[in-house]
Structure 1
Amino acid sequence: MSDIIQLLPEYLANQIAAGEVVQRPASVVKELLENAVDAGATQIQLIVKEAGKQLVQVVDNGSGMSATDARMSLERHATSKIRTTEDLFRIRTLGFRGEALASIAAVAQVEIKSKLQVQDTGTQLLVEGSQVVSQQPTACPDGTSIAVKNLFFNVPARRNFLKSNAVEMRHILDEFQHVALSKSSISFSLYQNDLEVFNLPAGKLSQRVVALLGNSYKEQLALVEEVTPFISVKGYIGKPESAKKSRGDQFFFVNGRFIRSAYLNHAVLAAYEGLLPKETHPFYVLFLELDPKTIDINVHPTKTEIKFEDEKTVYAIVRAAVKQALGLHNMAPSLDFESNVNFAPLAGLRTGSISDFADADDAAHHRDLGHEGGALAAAMAAAAAPARPTREAARWTDEKPLTPRPTEQARKALEDFYKTLSQPGALDDIEAEAPDAKPEPLPAIPVLPPVPAVQAAPAAPASPELPLTHGPSTGAAEGGAAAPGAMPSRRVVQVQQYVLVPVKSGLMMIDHVAARERILYEQYQQQIAEESSASQTLLFPRTVAFSPGDFAVLREVTTELHDLGFRFSEFGPNTIVVEGLPSDVPSRANEKELLEGLLEQFRMPGVRARLDRREQLARSLARRVAASAATRLSEVEMTALIDKLFACQTPGYTPDGQRTLVMLELDQLQAFFRS
């Protein structure tokens, strides 16, 4: 039998490696920008055409390369940063494997121009599919320029898997943001199709955050700084009230390298516990510095995932640092030690209104005042004995609606107590500071007028069964008159967010939020399919600004958003003017939050990747509109909701598989009352 194992050809091995390193144009941007940073550049320029499919070029003023180094940089595992095994545990540079240029050159046409500062001329290198076409001296400025053209030209199957220009450009913007945030001391610029997108001068981190993410971040930055012998945590977090539905503006950097870590993200969220609005996410950009020996960055080809030697300690310190920053900037709730929570002195009790004591327990605190204090406690207990009046009765007086009224017995006890106080020397043992003070006369106690009787509305006869297509009945049982003052019977009842509907076989419980989501989802699906939707025009058009990443996504899904009922047009860089919203969206809705929430699912990698854009938008909008609807429904609204739910194709479940209704059979109801 002949031998069957053999070495792969160099070009084929490079193409396999490129499959791990180069997944899309954004992967090329990441590798080239990191190389420019490692070269010590102070100015880096990124030029992109056709979302990187036609051209990705990075120009820097770094140290440059000699002719020999430029040629060697295209070889696999050729690196200037690793010499021994120990070097692997002291890595502080962004690149170190020596795979980037070799992998890129295997699937693209690459032009390299580089020049050392000490030399008069540089070198130019042309490569196609791992093959060096030419290398010759050339005139060029100090530093390096690498142009990657026609990505995946020799692997058409890979090129067919690339998304639209808007999607690919959004990924490029993400990688650009990561590198630009990590190195605020370096000047960056980005050009797309010869148009300037970013021009970021070197400066402070706060200035870089505002320049990259928008002016809205000026007022929400809170400094985080915690230095320990093990790790230092520095950066900025956002105020809780400025949290967004989107999770895109969250950045972790470990030793200057951008990473993704759900574990550390949980630490930040734990510090915000109890401060964030529901389903919102805070902004943060945090830099962690620790000994390279305590982390392993060689666990993923893209180097965005790392392992910590002591991750529990890292978690605790990050959480404590964020918690401390929230406290220092008065964002976390704290006790107010300035307010006086003690009870008023007896003089205050004597001059105050009796109705100021709304609870009989308050009187017990004065039992240590002697005999007179005990008399007051007994009087207050008697005053609070009767039940609290209804709100209807309370509106006949100027006193607080839920304040108990003293009875005749309580009034007599209080009058006797005040008579005791008015005698000479009665206050000697109680108020030593003011023995000569004269008691004020007993304030007049208003007498409540009689509460008018409330007449019950005449009841209408009820039908024996509840048809789901008819309105609910509010009358008494058939054949009997409603008792005076009795609550009218209801066929449909709401308890919290659940609607209870009696049926022949038992009881049906409907989650009205989930039911509304199912109804809206099918409605939006139909609108998208027919490319026609109802829209409510805003009285005053509103401008909404987005981050460059969100704006790229918005451009991608503009057609689908128009089909759902959104009406907007571009109004300057990364800005739109909103003229109309879908008719089902509440008028109080925030246009920016709503759109950011819809775009969020397209920013997070791997979220609902199996669904197309139309399906994702229909589900997301239905969920958000349903959650923002009114919590209390009238009987007419509940009946209409039931009718629409059972007119749906799948009334029992939401698009995500959550139940909209539950049936309780009669035997199940009876079982609740059996021992």
Structure 2
Amino acid sequence: MADIINLLPDNIANQIAAGEVIQRPASAVKELLENAVDAGATEIQLIVRDAGKELVQVIDNGKGMSETDARMCFERHATSKIKTINDLFEIRTMGFRGEALASIAAVAQVEMKTRQPDSPIGTCIEIDNSVVRKQEPCQTAAGTSICMKNLFFNVPARRNFLKSNAAEMRHIVDEFIRVAMAYPQLQFTFTSNNQQVFYLEKGSLKQRIIAILGQHYNAKLVTVKETTDYVNIHGFVGKPETAKKTRGDQFFFVNNRFIKSPYLHHAIMNAFSEMLPADSFPLYVLYIDLDPAHVDINVHPTKQEIKFDDEKILYAFVQSAVKHALAQFNVTPTLDFDLDPGIQQLDAVNKPFTEQQQERSTGSSLYKTFTQAHQAHVIDKSSNSNLKHWKDLYEIGKTDMPAQNTGLAPIPDTPAFVNRPSTATMIDDRWQDTTIDQKVPVQVHQQYILSQIKSGFILIDQHAAHERILYERYLRALQDKPMPTQQSLFPQTLQLLPADAALIAEMLPDLQVLGYDMEPFGNHTFVVRGTPADIQSGNEQASIEGLLEQFKHFSAELKVNKREQLVRSMARNSAIPAGKSLGAREMQNIIDELFACSMPNISPGGKYTYVSFKLADLVRMFERGN
């Protein structure tokens, strides 16, 4: 019988390996930026075109490579980081497996130029589908420049799985931020389609965080610093008011490598317990430095998930460090004065207070000033007290009022009480002139709407009900009837973070159908000329920011299409919040529109919009005490 097992050709094996390492353009960005950091560069440039589908280029001023190394670096598992098995557990560099460049060369067209600083001439290599097409000397700057062109050109099926340019751009921005945040001492620039996205100067960690996340965090960061023999923890956490409903501003770095760790995230959430709502996420940028022997970073293809030899002790250290930092911010500050040793030698400290001195002190006018009779809160009970005038005033009011057989003290007929209706009277006034089955709705605690029905009454959650109404209204707009736009008298310019700007650009066509008149204005800004008619004018910035937060929340929680996420986000962001006072007409409109919906009893998020109570149930509730 013939043998059927064969070794895969190198180009196919490389493409299979590339499937684990290079999933999208952002994966190549991560690998190339990390290689530049490992090369000792102080200035790193990232250039992309067409969201990385056409070009991803990284230029660094690092140590470069020799002609032989330039050729060897594209071989599978060719690395300078590991020579023995023990080196695998002492890794302090970003890359070490020698598979990134081989994987990139297997699914893209690659051109690399590199030169060592002490070499007069560099090397240029062109590789296509893992095959070296050209290798020759060239003139180039010291360092390395790698171009990755036409990603997945030889694997069309993989290219079809790529998302829109805006979505891929968001992933690229995320990877760039993670590397730039880990190395604030390096200069990073990021250019997309010939427009500068980031220019990050060398500086401190706080300066880098503010440059990336926004200037508004400048006064809202709390320093975290904990040094022990086992681990060193430093970085920043945001004050409680910076917490958001969505993830995205959470960064863990272990030995300067970005990681995702739900376990350590839980430690920080515990440290913030009782300071934040249950569905909020605090900002944090924390750096954990510990011996590489305690960490296994070779458990995931992207190296973003790692294992610790003792997770529990690290959990305790992280929680303690964050709690200590928050305590210094929240608790009354401790004034740390150095005690002057001369104070201990004063007579008031080292000599006893004799009885003669006590009598002399208590007899002084200064002492009497602070006795109980001179305190502001003490009320004189003597007959000379002015309180008797208040009693006289009460007696006069009492004699002027007609007697009532209620058994309760009469109310003085003073201006404050004249013509003031009772609570029962006010309710009766609102409910009068209505038929038995159509009572005017009443708002309860500015959160619920109580409305009478034939069989009893219903209690409506005003926010959930309005969310359902808006959700169905926006769905109809996307399907066949665009929403009307309210034009602004003065157009507003919105300045957004790069990742948020990419997200808005992705949603822009649908936002325009939903009533937003806005367009890109360059450099992460948008001009808003109009908003949906049911959104208050002048509130464009808050409206867009709230929409972004809700969209990120639904993106993380729901596996639905982008349009569905957008509609749910707009409905939740624009719905009437709990705590807003409503008039009778507004409440009645909510009731009428809610029961005209196709699914009135459930909000888009799955929450009940109303609860009904029957008269029979009320009768039973009141008869239980008999």
TM-score tier, shorter chain, comes to 0.7 to 0.9
Q: Is 2:498 the counterpart of 1:548?
A: yes
Q: Does 1:283 align with 2:283?
A: yes
The equivalences for 1:253-652 within 5 A come to 253-276=253-276, 280-328=280-328, 330=329, 332-334=330-332, 346-348=372-374, 417-419=381-383, 444-445=389-390, 447-448=393-394, 449=397, 450-451=412-413, 452=418, 456=425, 460=432, 463-466=435-438, 472-473=439-440, 494=444, 497-530=447-480, 532-538=482-488, 540-585=490-535, 591-600=540-549, 607=556, 610-626=559-575, 628=577, 630-652=579-601
Gaps of 5+ in 1: 338-343, 355-413, 423-439, 467-471, 474-490
Distance in 2 (CA, whole Å) between partners of 1:150 and 1:540 is 43
Deviates more, 1:496-505 or 1:62-71: 496-505
Q: Distance in 1 between matches of 2:315 and 2:52?
A: 37
Higher deviation after alignment, 626-635 or 188-197: 626-635
Q: Tell me which residue corresponds to 1:208.
A: 208
Matched residue type, 1:497: Q
Q: Is 2:178 the partner of 1:186? A: no
Distance 1:531 1:228, change over 3 A: farther
TM-score, structure 1 normalization: 0.76
Equivalent pair of 1:245/1:593 in contact (CA under 8 Å): no
- Partners of 1:92 and 1:150 in 2: CA distance: 32
645 and 604 in structure 1: CA distance in 2 versus 1, 3 angstrom threshold: closer
Aligned with 1:463: secondary structure? coil
2:120 corresponds to 1:120 = yes
> What SS class does the counterpart of residue 74 from structure 2 fall into?
coil
CA contact (8 A) 1:268 1:322 kept: yes
Flag the 1:461–1:142 CA change in 2: closer, same or farther, 3 A.
Answer: closer
Structure 1 residue matching 2:556: 3-state secondary structure: coil
Distance 1:114 1:286, change over 3 A: same
- Single out whichever of 535-544 and 640-649 deviates more from structure 2: 535-544
Per-residue CA deviation, residues 209-246 of structure 1 (Å, 9 max, x unaligned), is 22223322333233221111111111122233344445
Structure 1 equivalent of residue 351 of structure 2 = none
Instruction: Decide whether aligned partners of structure 1 residues 538 and 222 sit closer, same or farther in structure 2, where only a CA change above 3 A counts.
Output: farther
- Return closer, same or farther for 1:271/1:15 CA change in 2, 3 Å cut-off: same
Superposition pairs for residues 141-160 of structure 1, below 5 Å?
Answer: 141-160=141-160
Measured in 2, the distance between the counterparts of 1:651 and 1:503 equals 16
SS state at 2:588 partner = helix
- Cα distance in 2 for partners of 1:557, 1:132 equals 41
Structure-2 separation of matches of 1:114 and 1:453: 90
What is the root-mean-square deviation in Å for CA atoms of aligned residues?
3.1
How far apart are the structure 1 equivalents of 2:551 and 2:463?
Answer: 24
AA aligned opposite 2:120:
D
CA 1:640/1:602 → structure 2, altered by over 3 Å: closer, same or farther? closer
Structure having the larger proportion of residues in helix: 2
SS of the residue 1:123 aligns to: strand
The verdict on how the C-alpha distance between 1:441 and 1:660 changes in structure 2, with shifts beyond 3 A counting, is closer
Equivalent residue for 1:12? Answer: 12
How far apart, in 2, do the equivalents of 1:644 and 1:135 lie?
71
Deviation at residue 461 of structure 1 after TM alignment: 6.0
- Structure 1 distance, partners of 2:538, 2:520, is 23
TM-score (norm 2): 0.82
Contact 1:527 1:533 in 2 (8 A): yes
Report what 1:140 is aligned to: 140
**Relative to 1, partners in 2 of residues 1:236 and 1:464: Cα closer, same or farther, differing over 3 Å?**
closer
Cα distance in structure 2, aligned partners of 1:181 and 1:131: 35
- Give 5+ residue unaligned stretches, structure 2: 336-369, 398-411
Show the counterpart of 2:345: none
Q: CA deviation at 1:76?
A: 1.6
TM-superposed deviation, 1:68:
2.1
Amino acid at match of 1:598: L
Secondary structure of 2:511's aligned partner: helix
- Supply the distance in 2 between the matched residues of 1:601 and 1:92 (Cα, whole angstroms): 38
For 1:374, the equivalent position in structure 2 comes to none
Describe the superposition over 1:372-395 as per-residue Cα deviations: whole angstroms up to 9, x where unpaired: xxxxxxxxxxxxxxxxxxxxxxxx
Q: What secondary structure sits across from 2:512 in the alignment?
A: helix
Report if the CA contact (8 A) 2:551-2:569 is conserved.
no
1:235 alignment counterpart: 235
Aligned equivalent of 2:33: 33
Q: How many residues align?
A: 563
Aligned to 1:71: 71
CA distance in 1, matches of 2:332, 2:290: 32
Is the 2:299–2:305 contact (alpha carbons within 8 Å) kept by the matching residues of 1? yes
Q: How far off its partner does 1:171 sit?
A: 1.3
SS of the residue corresponding to residue 459 of structure 2 reads: strand
Deviations 1:276-300 (A, max 9, x none): 4785433221111111122221121
The whole-number CA distance in structure 2 between the counterparts of 1:638 and 1:233 is: 53
Determine if contact 1:586/1:628 at 8 Å carries over to the other structure. Answer: no
Percent identity over the alignment? Answer: 50
8 A contact 1:586–1:629 mirrored in 2: no
How many angstroms does 1:144 deviate by? 1.5
Q: Deviations over 1:95-131 (max 9, x none)?
A: 1111111111111011122222333222221111111
Are the equivalent residues in 2 in contact too, given 1:241–1:277 (CA < 8 A)? no
Q: In the alignment, is the contact (CA less than 8 A) between 2:196 and 2:523 conserved in 1?
A: no
1:143 Cα offset (Å):
1.7
8 Å Cα contact 2:459-2:612 kept in structure 1 = yes
Instruction: Flag the 1:160–1:268 CA change in 2: closer, same or farther, 3 A.
Output: same
Distance 1:280 1:185 in 2: 31
The DSSP-based 3-state class of the residue aligned with 1:197 is: strand
For residues 138 and 53 of structure 2, the distance between their equivalents in structure 1, rounded to whole angstroms, comes to 27
Per the TM alignment, residue 150 of structure 1 is displaced from its structure 2 partner at its CA by 0.6
